[in-house]
C-alpha cells in the first residue's frame, strides 16, 4: 500500500512488469489515467487512516459506521480529520489546430505568435546590412 500511495502505478513510473504478458508490459498501463490517479489518492487516504489506528476498517475486519467509503469520505480518527485527496490528473484540453489567415495574408496560429516578415534592410553590394557598419 505504501508503494501504491507513493505513485508506483502513476504515469511515467516503472510500475510492475505483468508476468502474464509475453512482451514486456507494465500492469498499470491497462488502467486509464484517471483510474491510476484515483488508486494512488485512495491509497494515500487509507494509509492516513491506518496511521491513526483504523487498520481494522481498512482491512474490512470491522464495518465502518453507516457503510461509508473511508477512502472517499471525510472521517475523524483520534481527533484527526482525514479527508480524501482531490484528483491530480487533469485531462489535456484539445488543441485548436485551425490556423486562421488575416487580411494581409499572415497566418495566425493559436499555438505560436503571428509571423511578421522583417522589413527589407538597405545593404551594400556584398549583402552586408548598412546599419552594422
Report d(CA 8, CA 46) in Å as an integer. Answer: 16
Model pLDDT, residue 96: 61
CA distances from 77 to 36, 50, 57 (A): 26, 9, 11
Report d(CA 109, CA 101) in Å as an integer. Answer: 9
Q: pLDDT: is 77 or 13 the higher one?
A: 77
Q: Please, which pLDDT band fits residue 133 given cuts at 50, 70 and 90?
A: very low
Report d(CA 82, CA 26) in Å as an integer. Answer: 31
Q: Calculate the dihedral angle through the C-alpha atoms of 104, 109, 114, 120, rounding to the nearest 10 degrees.
A: -60
pTM over 0.85: no
Model pLDDT, residue 103: 57
Residues 99-123 pLDDT 10s: 555 555 555 555 555 555 566 667 7
Residues 38-96 pLDDT 10s: 888 888 888 998 988 888 888 888 888 877 888 888 888 888 899 998 888 777 777 66
Structural domains of the chain ordered from first start: 2-82 (1.10.1410.40)
Amino acid at each position: 500500500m505504501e508503494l501504491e500511495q507513493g505513485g508506483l502505478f502513476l504515469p511515467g513510473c516503472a510500475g510492475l512488469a505483468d508476468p502474464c504478458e509475453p512482451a514486456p508490459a507494465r500492469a498499470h498501463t491497462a488502467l486509464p489515467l484517471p483510474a491510476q490517479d484515483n488508486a494512488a489518492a485512495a491509497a494515500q487516504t487509507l494509509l492516513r487512516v491506518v496511521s491513526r489506528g483504523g487498520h481494522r476498517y481498512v482491512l474490512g475486519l470491522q464495518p465502518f459506521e453507516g457503510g461509508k467509503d473511508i477512502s472517499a469520505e471525510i472521517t475523524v480518527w483520534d481527533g484527526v480529520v482525514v479527508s480524501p485527496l482531490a484528483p491530480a490528473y487533469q485531462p489535456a484540453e484539445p488543441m485548436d489546430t485551425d490556423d486562421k489567415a488575416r487580411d494581409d495574408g499572415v497566418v495566425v496560429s493559436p499555438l505560436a505568435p503571428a509571423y511578421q516578415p522583417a522589413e527589407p534592410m538597405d545593404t551594400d553590394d556584398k549583402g552586408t546590412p548598412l546599419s552594422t557598419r
